[in-house]
Structure 1
Amino acid sequence: MSTTILIVDDNEDIRFTLKEICCSADWNVIEGSTGKQGIELFKKMHPDLMLLDYHMPDWDGIKTTKELRSISEKTPIIILTVDERQEIADAFLQAGATDFALKPIKAPDLISRIRINLKIAKLMAGKENVFVEKGIRQATLNSIKNYLVQQDSPSSINEIQQALPIAYQTVHRYLYYLENKGEVEIISQYGKQGRPTNTYKLV
């Protein structure tokens, strides 16, 4: 069965580049130039994954993500942005995004992220109790908890992300969820200079 990727970006040149990358991986592509148009295309075409720009007129990426999640809880959404601020990542993850790719886009990285997200979505398709709550997948939650329970010492987000096929921002969101549930403890490790490094362990 062929795979269809929905690209939503108001920059025509970027859409062209993304289309070329997707076509090189033998994926079908549909394009939208606004968030609203992207949602309409999603309703009609039911793509397997959405590549979504953050900064767009009218509907920005966050609003578009929320609109898509009101239609589909399972479709992967990869956010494209030049903004590396953690608060932006947190806002998107809370809205329901599944992954991030920083601009300028690098083809090998983007293709890898798309394949991983498609694989996870396929594994989750048709299974009951896929979501613990909106945006939190049971299988992903179990993967992170299973990793942590096997560790003798607290782990950083980077260590968890490298051990599992899960994006850094996704690991951060799930750890935030587990902390709020009282299942994970954050331990701050202070070096000689700079910000402390947070590590995590199951309570």
Structure 2
Amino acid sequence: MHEPVQAPFFQQSTLELSKALLGKLLIKQTDQGVTAGWIVETEAYIGPDDQAAHSFNNRRTKRTEVMFGPPGYVYTYVMHTHCLVNVVSGDVGHPEAVLIRAIEPYIGIDLMYERRRKAKNDRDLTSGPGKLTKAMGIVKEDYGRPFFEPPLWIAEGKSIPCEDIAVGPRIGIDNSGEAKQYPWRFYVKESSFVSG
């Protein structure tokens, strides 16, 4: 079994964590079985000063509460009926997070197809933040779990060299002022599993 990374892994700056997560293995254990995939795309959301972040201006609600705690915990929320999964980052009291945007399927691909019946191919299974959670059985109820122990965890994976990481503006945050231009999206250059 792939062992979870240790809690200290998450204690790095949000931008560094966004890059460090690339190539790591995201794993989810459910009653139906285990699914896993290599993380190939992430986006950083840097709290109070980031207009695109749910915690902009230190907005503290029931939904954002987990972001005010220690890093390495699951922040799930529902947007347009899709559940999205984030890794809490930043120090306690500094509400930041990294959105996992896309993975490359690795374990439990048949189960992913069962859950994503409309998927046309392996790429289509998990090439987007809503697709990957559905394929992996990640649900809103995973909110607040630690990412360093089952049933939802991050394990060591492939090492991605800096020169293989592409950087660009985040996707789908048009109404966030200048924040929509910040180059806080990171992805594996050669991966065909990156979202559109």
Higher-Rg structure is: 1
Greater RCO (Cα-Cα under 8 Å, separation 6 or more): 2
Structure ranking higher in strand proportion: 2
Structure ranking higher in helix proportion: 1
TM-score normalized by the length of structure 1? 0.24
